[in-house]
Structure formats: C-alpha cells, structure tokens
Structure 1
C-alpha cells in the first residue's frame, strides 16, 4: 500500500504540534505507531526504548489492527505492553544485529522473540495475526542506539517504500526523543535558576517590559516594601525608591545595562530611611523572555561583611550568565530540530539531485583541467623556448654589432620569455595540487625544512640573509611534496620582499594550537596592508609591479590550495613597514593515532 503524502504530512504536523504543546513522550510515540500502522498498511507496530538503569528495553508505543491486542495478550499469558528485552546480554542474532544499527527483514516471529517467547507461542501469534513479513529498525539519538521500531505486514515481501518508511519513522522517533531530552534539560535549568534566585540572600528584582515582575524576600526586607506592592511598580514608579540626587545615575545605568559593573547610590526604604547600596544591573532570560536583573548589596553593614556579599554576587552573576547561555543554546537547538523535521522529506530529494549534478560537474571540470594542463605543457612551452633560444642566439652571434636599442629589445624578449615560462610552471603546480589525490602521513618537519634550506642556500648567501629556525620541530600529518612546495614558496617570498639597505631576516618557528600546530614564517620585509590580506592568496594577484619585485602572482595561491588540500588553514599578520608573519595550521601527529 502506498502512503498518502497528505496523511504523512498530517502525521508529521501532529507530532510537531505535540512537541510544541510539550505532550507526554509516550503519547507522542503512541500517535506515531497509530499513524504508521494506518499509513503503511501494517498489522502491528511497536516501539521499544532502552531503560539504561534497569538494563532492558520496554514497550512504549503499540498499535494493532482489528483489536487483536486482547487476543495476543491471551495467547502470551501476559500483556504485550509488559514485554521486556534485556540489553546487557545476547538474546538472539536478530536483536544483536539491530543493536549494531541494521534494519532487519524476516518471516518468522521467533527470529525476533525466541527464547523470550517460546516457538509454539510465536507460531500461534503468527497464525492469529496473519502476518507473513516483519521489519525491525534501530532508533538512534545523538549517534546512540536508544531503542527500536517493529512492524508486521500481511504481504510476503516488503517493498523499498516499506524499508524507507521504517527508516524515516525511526529517524523521526530519534528526533522526538532528542527534543524531549533538550526540553527536559531546559526545564531543569529554569527550575535550578528559579530556586537559586528565590532562595538567594542577596536582594534582587527583575524587570520585564518595564515592570517589576519578581522581587525576592531579601529585597522586600531591604526596602521595607511587601512583595505585593513591589510587583505593582512600573519602571517610572520604581524610580521613586531611589534618592533624588542619584536618579540621573540610576536612569543612565539602566539604559546602558553595564554587565557586572557596580554603581553606588541610596535606596529609600518605605519608612523614609536612605541606605547606601551597591547595585548590579544585567540582562537575563526570564521565562524565555528578555529581562533585566537588578541586585542590591547593603553597604551600610560592617566592612567585614562587604567582601562576602561581593563574592556571593559574583558567583550569582556567573551562574546567571552561564545558565542564560545554555538556555539560548538549547532553545536554538530545539528550533533547528523542529525546522529539520518539517524539511526532512524535501531535503532528502534535493540532496540526491544535487549530488548527481555535482558529480557530473566535477567530472567535466576535471576533464577540462586535464586538457588545459596538456595544452600548457606541450603547445605553449615549446614555442616559448624557441623564442627565448632565438633571442639568445641573436645576442651571442651578433653581440657587439647590435645597437643598444636592439640589445635592450633582445634582453626584454629573454626576460619576458623566462617570466612566461615561470608563470606556466606555477600554473602547472597550482593545477596539480588541485587535481591530485593526496594521502596524509607523519612528516618530520625537520627533514622538510632541511630540504627547503638546501634549495635556497645560494640565494640566502647572495642576499646575506639571516634565517633562524627554532627547534625542536614536531612531526605533522601532511603530504611531503605539498608541504615542501608550500614552505619553499613562503621562504622565497620572505627573501624577495625585503627593504632596500636592510639585511633580510627570516624566522621559522612552531607553536602548539590544540590538537594542531601553527608553523610561522616571519620576516622583516616591506609588510602588507591589512586590506590586501585576503586578496594576495587569490590567483594572479600582485601588489607590486614586476619591475620592483619579480614573480607570477601564483605562489601564495599555491600555498593556500596546498594547505587546504592537507586539511589545514593559512593566515597572515602584517602591516606596511613592519614585516609579515604567515602561518600554516596543520594536524599534529601523535603516536597514539598510529597505534589506534
């Protein structure tokens, strides 16, 4: 039987309504089993959930056609809803496979329930229910299997739609369970916050929509006003409790809501007495709405009590801030889950179509890139070398007979050809980094830097540069050839873009960064304007003319693509005239990873 999309949407809308109304979890799961039973023409549908404390599974939702449940209970000798399945030991292979996350299709009831139910009773149940095919799917919440869903059919075989439907409903149940857990966490957090505030010895009030909505007993004692009178005050009337000379300060602080900053002013008690208090004002979430919490500390008391009161206030401030952040996160997650449930069916189809189209585009793009690389390698480089060779031949053969202008033209041809060949080399490197499949392995940074320094030995000597490497150096997860190319490009730039008349200085060092490391390449060069920090990593981007600093504008693009291919990040700190500090962020290799 094919499910009616309208009925399916109606079922999902009903589940969402139950979630918004905070309906009991068992009622929601019972509604799901009832809906699934009728939508997909099942004989019986049941949901079981883990009870970790008792180490067993319990039936929490059960639906059956034609009122067969009393007859089934009679055959069993007990209520099917009281059936429990142990989770701390192996019952049978079918249940073990479900625990491993498999969707199981079988034709004999004893495959699921034996030895919990005898084979003879299983056969009687099969005959009475007229079921010929059964399915069981695991229910997962937060990547943990928390139960299962069972469905039986009169048909001898199940269709692809049946399999997809039970997976879908299992997914929906998992989301419902996670939603319930989040709502319970929010409820408990609100309860703890409410108890903390109500029983606090620190006087405080809460303003919401410019009215006093809460005043604890400590504040009623401090002010002398009963709670009934305080809860009738609006923002303007509350101002009457502040000394006239301090009202401007009160209003200014209430407008800016300084978090954690104390102000000192005089509170007018009901008997007319003015008492100096230290006031803290902070925004909070109260009953899921924005509010303002105002706490008062009586500083007329002895100085020895002042430090203790301040410590309690800071603890309360920290707790309120933490719980507010947690509440906001939980509420946002609940909203995301609700939206995800509404878009589940539509997103599934869109993802499949998108993946197919993306695979085709990627295949076409790789073919185009391979064709381009072939053209650059064979069709451009050969004539370019011929031009450079002829120019060299003219200079060597006609040398002294060439007038200065002609000699200059030949030199320009040679320089341009060499620049073009360098550009082609860089483009081929950039193309290869983008196309090739790379495998990350443990790479000793010491060995890579030794290789790079050897390649630049002559240039460092010619420029009288000072290159410092801070040791020891770690082992990182990287691709050796790619990492060598990246560090070579960064060292080349550091030696190239230096100030005239100043000895080039380069320092290479490594700092831990969580589970990663940052490899810094620092120099005392000309520096880079912050507005150009992102731009220089794009292909063909140059900040200086080729006559000032030679290059192709591809080097840093190769660096960025290479680091990203290795699952890392690249960044830069620099200002004009103050040098540059590039960094690569890569995974640090730990011995435990290899053993695992």
Structure 2
C-alpha cells in the first residue's frame, strides 16, 4: 500500500484528523510472489535501503518496521551483491560468491504527468532481484583439452619409439629391441596414466590395447577385450553403421572428434548405455596403422548442459515476467498519478474556495489553518513533480553531442537572476568547459547544482559561485563551488539519496530530490559525483563525465581562463 496524508484542523487550530489516500499494491506483490514460486531460484523485491519487501522468509520481509529485525536485510545478508546492485546500471546480471544475481530497477512512477502535461518520471526506488545459489550453477566436469594432451603425448612417444625401431638394423638390433621394450613400457605407463579411457585398435577394428580407465568405464577386463572388435563397446543398434564409419575413417585418417554433431553412446558389460565423447588419432607404427580413441563419459557434462539450458529458459521466462511486471508498474504509476493529483487539487481548490467565499467569517487563525492545508497540498504536488522528473531522467535515452557547459551555466544563471533580481551574486564561469553528453540532461544537472549554490548563499555578502575545471586522478573533472552555509561532511553519504536534506526546509526550501537527480544524470554519462564542504565555509560539488573534452590549454592551476557574470 502507498499512503499519502495531510492533517485537518478545526477552527481552534486543534488537529482533528487526517485526509489519507491509500493505493493498494497487493496485486503487484502477489504477482512477484508467483514469480518466486515458479523459479528454481528465488525472486525478491527490495526497497532502496536494501530491505526485503518480498524475501526468503516472512520474517525477513518489511524488517525495517521492526526494531529487533533491522539487521535482516538483503543489504546485510548479501553486502557485496547489494553494493553492486545499488551502484550499478538499471538492470544487470553478475556472479558474487558463486551465486548468480539478476536484477532490474523498477520505476513505480514512470508514467505520471509532470508540469504542463508533459510525461515525467520518478526515481527507481524498488529492485526486483532473481537469486540462483551456487549449487544450482555448479557444473561438474573436467576440461577436454587436458585429456587430449595426455593422449597426444602417448601418440608422440609411440611414433618416436616405432621410428627408432625402423631406423635401427644389423648390429644395433638388440639395442633397438631393448629401447623398443623400454619405450613400450613408457607408452603403456602413459596410456595407463591417461585420465580418460584409451582404446587402441588396428585397421581391422580389433582392440590392441586398453588402459585401466577403459576397464572401469566399460566393465570388461583387458584380457577379454584384447582381440575383440571395437563394436563390442557399441550398442547393438549402432554396430552396422559403426563398421561403415570406421572404414570411412581409414580412408582419410586424421585427428578429429568422432561423430561430430551426433550423440554417441557406449555399452557397458552389464548392458547399460551411457553418453560418450570420443576423439580419434591415427598413429603409424612398424606393425601398421593404429587408431587411438580417447573416450570420455559425458553423463555429468550433458546433465550440466541440460541444467544450463533449463536455467537459460527460466531466465528468459523471468525476463519476460520482469517486463510484464514493469509494464504493470508503469500502468500503476499512471493510475497513481491521477489518483493522487485529483484529491490534491480538490484539497487545494476547496480550501481556496473556502477562503474566498467564507474568509470573512473566519478569524485570522482559521484562515491561517486553511492556508496551511493549501501549502501542504501544494508541497505534495511539487514533491510528486520532482519525483517524476527524477524517474524521467533515470529512464531517458542519451542523445550525446558536444556540449559547452559554460554556455549552459550562463543560461541557468540568467534565469536565476531574472527570478531573484534583488540578489547580488558574483558568478565566475571558466572557459573551455566542453564535454560530450546529452545537453538536455546536463542542463538539468547544472540547474540543480547552480540552483543549490544560489539558494545556500542567501544572506552571504558577497555571495560567490564558481563553475570550473580541474584534474581528478589524471582525468578532467568539473566543479561548482560556493561560499554558502556548507554542511558537515559527516553526513556527506546522505547527499545524493532522494528525500535526504541536511538543512532546515523553512530556511532553505526544497524537496531533497535535486542532488539525486544530478547523480543519476552523471552516472548515465559514465561519470561520478561527490562533494567537499565545511559548515559555514561553503561547498564544492565535483563531477566527471566519461567523454569530457580536454581544453586546448590549461593554466598551471588546472583551469582555463574564466569569465565573470
């Protein structure tokens, strides 16, 4: 449920009740719960502070409402994953500590109407997260390349041994025989040490040699296998075809996998079948051509592939469900826009009508109460407008081009001077403040940064604002500096969170959305934003843009020549 409220006072100024607007979100929560039930992993709904709204257990959900359960949150249980989600792009997928996380930021107010009837949006304050634990993703199996290397080593040694025998004759025969026997012993040792089953056959298809792994895999002893045709290890329904394939291989013997693109089956002594992967290598010897077959049981590998395929299909379905949920949220936002704005307009309008029609019958205190009701309704409307702008920024597509930030800043300052002609503010804007970005979004960022500097220098004589350029870790950065009231750096971590304010709203009005909007714009441009300040000593806000264009020449202080307005 989303709830908005405004107090109601009687003629004596006593609070008599609340005007409350409720929007039920149960249908949305039930839909996400259905997603979690259908998934092999878990599907969670998380708020902007990292708390579960839909979580692993009922006790984990809405824990921020219970003092004894404040530590039961996604941000606490999966701190590293939460850091990547909260600081990452609007949606993504990654592996953390062996677990697979897939997430998407949700913008519940994405289609509300903003000022002048134009579409506007609110910030993504919810996260839909799919969690697949490590055991689901674990895929047993060894690398095929390692096994092939062992078989290749065997073949090279065998070829070398046979070549030595053929090269020796006469008085060297007995020495050659001794070396051959030693080589054969080494060859057999290597065959035995191979991690896969090795079966060596001659051109007639009869088994010459097998290793211990082959005995274990097929359940036959090597004494039984010696001299048998290799079709003994092939299921009966494939034997006739296998003889033809074997003959075809002998016509063009080369190193290659057997049965590429087909599912191969091996036959055990007990009659059971199992999937195999086979690589073939021809070896020329003094006794003629031999074929070395490296045979690997791929039962676990195929099971893993099936699991991966199932996971991919599940992820595809989950993504489709996420798109559906997002569309429902957009429809929900549009509905909320109308559901909230109409009552707010009614509260403001009827309060104004009451003042105009019955104001003379009310005393000063009564008129003051009605004005407070109107102000509360208008502030709620402004808050909704700011939220919609923030969400619109988060979802906007970039249209990058070369942008002169200095020119944009001049336009912003001129607007501020027109709105507050009584203010005397010294504004210094450096030259060559050029970057590549979306001019509309960058103007919004400057409006918020310069607007904040303008607001928080009220009462300063003289008031000064500076827009310039500097270097940060060898990369160009921009800054907006003022000599205003500043702030305590202890609370700097709250600056860019929506609704967070470090100053009294009565002294410095605002909704707490501006810096959150700046951060989202800078992040969309691949940059970063941060601040340095001290209480009553002003503040400096820095930001970088991925495609900032270096000026032709910087002065020793790191800034181009400036202009003062």
Q: TM-score normalised by the shorter chain: which range applies?
A: 0.3 to 0.5
Structure 2 length as normaliser, TM-score?
0.44
**Structure-1-length-normalised TM-score:** 0.42
Where is the helix percentage greater, Structure 1 or Structure 2? 1
